[in-house]
Chain A
Amino acid sequence: MKSLINFIKGFNMTRRTTKMVLFLYIINLLFSLLLAVPLYHSLKNHIGNSDVGDNLENGFDYLWWEEYRDQSQGLEKTFTPSIMGKGALLENLESLIQMKFLTYPSSLILFGFLYILLHTFLSGGIVYTFFKEPPEFSFKRFFKGAGKYSPYFFGIMAVSVGILLLVMASLARWFGSIVSACAKNSVSEITPFILGLIFSLLIWTILLFFHMILDYARIKTVSEDRKNIIKAIASSVIFVFKNPGTTLGLYYLIFSVNIIISIIYIIIQSLIPQISLWGIAGAFIIQQSFIFALIWTRCWLYSSQLKLLRYLE
């Protein structure tokens, strides 16, 4: 019940800071455009004057794509039918759980790293904006918070990446070797598949759990004006373990919202025929609304967690 109350309160808080969400969305959009523009030129050049463009406007031309793929390098290699529509979400889910991000082209890895750094910096502004009651977005306040807390947030980011690498290097590798051993001796592909799925879910749950703890560490850093991230993390661990049901409940409520948004997006985007300028524009609006909604829920998570922290302490 406490989770639900603060879930709703968080929603109202986020609603008051839609400008901030919009700002974060624009950053996401601009950042992605940095790579989308070169890819656009690559696609445009490859299509050239060929009327294969008409096929591509009306659908997907697999034959053309095979040619493009066979001649492509680096970032272009990521342009596959597998990342279209629902594939985008599934691909990223798999990439996160299996750390496939590390197999991406180096330009994309570097780009991703820069984005993590930028967002770590901005997170201070997000939490600081919500810290004020009632929350109100202004660039001045946002960047004041971002600047003030970024050293601590970078520290927490380092812990977050460290945990991720630790989980991947130890647990995921161990799970991987168990699945391989099982696959080698199994009588069917079903056992290693199920085992793999269970381990993936387990890794996912562990990562989300750590993520939640570190969320509270960030919030506590701002709300309690902490200067020591280790103490902030320790304090958030104590907080989470003292209120496991409520904190996890809230976390999974937002997580469920994310899932619902994703499902709605998959359904709607699949219904839009991208075969005319209006169709393409419509799909773009849906796609960007989806990204906006995801960023919105990320802010919603912070605001709800902040509310919960205040509520319980």
Chain B
Amino acid sequence: MLKKTVLTSIIIVLFIPFLYASDPFFCPQTASYKIEVNLDTENNTLEAHEILTWINNTEEPTSELWFHLYWNAFQNNQSTFLRECSRMGYDLSDIDKDDWGYNRVHSIKLMENQDVPGEDLGPSLEYKQPDDMNDRDRTVFSVQLPRPIEPGETISLEINFSSKVPAPFSRTGRYKNYYFIAQWFPKIGVFQDGTWNCHQYHAASEYFADYGTYDIKITLPSSFKTGATGEYKNKTNNGDGTSTHHFYQHSVHDFAWTASPDFLRSVENYEFTPGKSVKITLLLQPYHKHIKQRYIEAVKNAVRYASAWFGDYPYATITCVDPAYNSRSGGMEYPTFFTGGAYFISPKGVPSPEGVTIHEFGHNYFYGLIGTNEFENAWMDEGMNSFLDTIIYNQAYGEPFYSDAFLGIPVAFKKVNIPIESEGISSHRKTWNKDPMQRYSWRFMDQNSYGANSYGKGQLMMLTLQRMMGNELFSEMIKEYSMRYWWKHPKPEDFFSVVSEFAGEDMSWFFNQVVYSSGRLDYSIEYIKNHTERAEEGFFENQYVSGQKSEKEDDLFLSEVLVRRLGGVKVPVEILIEFQGGKKIVENWDGQQRWKKFAYKTPVKITRAIVDPLFVYVLDTNRTNNRFSLEPNKKAAYKWVMNWMVWLQHTMEMLAKLGS
């Protein structure tokens, strides 16, 4: 029976390219999976049969294979993931026996083909802990091969595994009849530079994998609706109360799926650019029916603008899932498939669900198409993608309104707009001295530092680069970077190199300071001084001068502006100096020393000075001190303290009710 299964599998694997001959692959299919999985909703388990075809696309041979078994992060409290969660202060006290989840590999066999003899690799299976030596962690394993796999060689493995679907710890799991199944199968690591890049599952980290074809058949109770990575090929009714759903996608590096009987499904074809369309599927929770159009519009805007910025979206489908309440699966990305997140009340102008929808769609570029290593270079996906979502949101909807919730009801403050430059600056301001932006995700000082550096500072750096290079050049550069590295695994240096290429200079001076160091960028105008020149007094050439001014000298001022660099990051800056009567001068300073004084002898006073007047350096942690006016506005403080005072007076009246 087993032999027959193996033989059938080999035939199917060999024929995959012919079955989908109409689909030209976008890239080498290094790691391709064919999986048949059955979800048992009674026991919350998966039973699966996986065939992995792997090509050694490197220049080095390997005699072992490394795999991720991500769900073992949820099998007990000694996993690296849960130890890290515990250290972060998550309450892990109320986990029931049924909440734990895991993957179990029952067999792993090298499949017979012309080159490699078939062999059971199970006996050589060994759990690895490359990141933290936690020998209780079971999220990575390796198997030894009977002989090295040479460069260019292809092997196939047959893996039988089962899994217990966890309660939602993070990103995946089940909540009532909603299943979000991600990182669920034994997944091969990335063989790079002669070693396996296969990190353990961490609390503050995402993923890294090779591109390939995913041909997945999911068997579910017939009442369930489903969505997944890639194209929905067909559905087969098995006649036993279950149905099998077939999904297929090539040139992606992950596969996730969801199932629930409650989903409201909407499908729309959208032509995002002339001649290019995408099929948008929205799987909506019934209680969010009224925000369906906001979701759909957000996906459309995301596809349209992202295509213009980073290259036309190449896949035929995109599926957006509105996650179930309490499922902890919101705001996550997988190729062609992502989860949004929404609250049932959302005033217009408040970016929910639009913000998260655009962000998660954006990951189809920064992680999906541009396959950066999220474990090691988190800013390359989260930072760049935060930049993507901010610019797209602002282009599509304008600046969002500030909002706050009162008794659970969100209220928009339409007089308070949130400018693009504010995204991420606050978190950067609070954490700039904790870590450099470039660190392994789990090695940041704390969760705040990970978030601020990976998301906030990464985004601020991109905005700064955009303004340093000018929008046109930056747009060309970012599109080139994007498309040059589609279906590849770029490293930070690859990005730096593209920037330098377009900037026409070696930009390492910038990246060394912003990416690899934890310095702060802060320039300020310390003061403006306008002196009248003192009349000559004393002995000049043995002649006494009394100190009386001439008419001409009376008109002249010695005016000074002192500019300071308060942070460690050194960048060249412009200084705009304004004089009485409207005259303006723009000065340049290389910013290398701690301060620079600009002095003028003019008949009019300096009235205002601004360092970085065009707001190029969005990374500047204190923008208020960049601008100095000789006549500061006195009304502003009055105005806002009066507005604050009415709140205080009202508070007092409320409190007075307690006593009177």
Contacts and interface: CB of A to CB of B under 8 A. Distances in A.
Contact of A35 (B633, B648, B653): B648
Interface stretch (B54-62, B116-124, B130-138, B408-416): B408-416
A11 interface: no
B652 A32 contact: yes
Nearest to A201: B407
Nearest to A283: B642
A120 B404 contact: no
Interface string A165-190: 00000000000000000011011111
Contacts of B627: 50-52
B650 A79 contact: no
B646 A79 contact: no
Contacts of B646: 88, 287-288, 290-291
Given A49-B629, A49-B632, A184 B326 contact: yes
Contacts of B285: 188
A214 B100 CA distance: 54
A78 interface: yes
Interface in B612-638: 622-630, 632-638
B656 interface: yes
A161 interface: yes
Nearest to A302: B660
A119 B637 CA distance: 29
A80 B413 CA distance: 11
Given A160-B659, A280-B638, A50 B653 contact: no
Nearest to B406: A90
B318 interface: no
B637 A43 contact: yes
Contacts of A28: 649, 652-653
Interface residues of A, number: 95
B516 interface: no
Nearest to B399: A62
A50 B407 contact: no
Contacts of B630: 49
A50 B632 contact: yes
A54 to B, nearest CB: 5
B285 to A, nearest CB: 7
Contacts, number: 247
A246 interface: no
A116 B656 contact: yes
B177 to A, nearest CB: 9
Contacts of A245: none
A88 to B, nearest CB: 4
A56 B650 contact: no
Interface stretch (A63-71, A220-228, A234-242): A63-71
B11 interface: no
B402 interface: yes
B647 A92 contact: yes
A40 B658 contact: no
A164 B658 contact: yes
Interface stretch (A93-101, A130-138, A303-311): A93-101
A52 B624 contact: yes
A274 B626 CA distance: 25
Contacts of B656: 115-116, 119, 298
A56 B659 contact: no
What class of interface size applies to chain B in its complex with A?
Answer: 35 or more
Contacts of A291: 646, 649-650, 653
Given A51-B608, A60-B416, A32 B406 contact: no
B342 to A, nearest CB: 9
Contacts of A9: none
B429 A70 contact: yes
B324 interface: yes
A31 B325 contact: no
Contacts of B643: 84-85, 274, 283, 287
A237 B638 CA distance: 47
A104 to B, nearest CB: 8
Interface string A247-289: 0000000000000000000000010001001001001100110
Contacts of B426: 66, 69-70
Interface string B301-340: 0000000000000000000000011100000000000000
Contacts of A69: 426
B540 interface: no
Contacts of A294: 650, 653
B344 A188 contact: yes
Contacts of A116: 655-656, 658-659
A51 B643 CA distance: 20
B176 A91 contact: no
A43 B636 CA distance: 9
A62 to B, nearest CB: 5
B652 A186 contact: no
A89 B650 contact: yes
A92 B651 contact: yes
Given A86-B411, A291-B653, A277 B624 contact: no
B625 A277 contact: no
A117 B377 CA distance: 58
Most buried by A among B430, B645, B648, B651: B648
Contact of A40 (B325, B641, B647, B657): B641
Interface string B510-523: 00000000000000
B143 interface: no
A120 B659 contact: yes
Given A116-B658, A153-B660, A294-B653, A63 B636 contact: no
> What 3 A-B pairs are tightest by C-beta distance, nearest first?
A53-B633, A123-B660, A56-B636
Interface of B: 176, 262, 285, 287, 324-326, 343-344, 402, 404, 406-408, 411, 413, 415-419, 421-422, 425-426, 429-430, 528, 608, 610, 622-630, 632-660
Interface of A: 28-29, 31-33, 35-36, 39-40, 43-44, 46-57, 59-60, 62-64, 66-67, 69-70, 78-98, 101, 108, 112, 115-117, 119-120, 122-123, 126, 153, 157, 160-161, 164, 183-184, 186-190, 193, 196-197, 200, 211, 218, 270, 274, 277, 280, 283-284, 287-288, 290-291, 294-295, 298
11 contacts: A32-B652, A53-B634, A56-B640, A84-B413, A84-B647, A91-B406, A93-B406, A94-B407, A98-B407, A187-B176, A188-B344
